[in-house]
Amino acid sequence: MISLAHAQTAGAAADPTGGLMQMLPMILMFVVLWFLMIRPQMKKTKEHKALLEALTKGDEVVTQGGIVGKVVKVGDSYVTVEIATGTEVVLQKPAIGLVLPKGTLKSL
């Protein structure tokens, strides 16, 4: 029994940079994910927020659902859009998809 104990060798010392080297590919993948997906989405969200803050009466808009109309009233959280003569719809501001150039409704 004693001779077996002397025959065992000490375990190899752990490499202190081994853990970091194993994490490096995961960190690089996260950085690539950030630049390819998350950052452009944040930019798009910021642009949409600026579009909503710049809404004014008379703007021609398209809703997220594809309805085209003219802004009649702008509130803090809601927008009233005239989609036909005498037909007004109250929408939440985030439901506005984009603002059309002036005169677009007349050409439709």
Give the integer Cα–Cα distance in Å for 90 and 81: 6
pTM greater than 0.75:
no
Q: Domain range spanning residue 43?
A: 17-54
Which pLDDT tens digit goes with each residue over 38-75? Answer: 999 999 999 999 999 999 999 999 999 999 999 999 99
Task: Assess whether 61 and 101 both reside in one domain.
Answer: yes
Tell me, what's the pLDDT at 59?
95
Position 4 in a domain: no
Task: Assess whether 26 and 65 both reside in one domain.
Answer: no
Which has more confidence, 97 or 18?
97
User: What is the four-CA torsion angle of 64, 48, 50, 80, rounded to 10 degrees?
Assistant: 10
Task: Assess whether 35 and 75 both reside in one domain.
Answer: no
Position 6 in a domain: no
Task: Assess whether 44 and 69 both reside in one domain.
Answer: no
Position 65 in a domain: yes
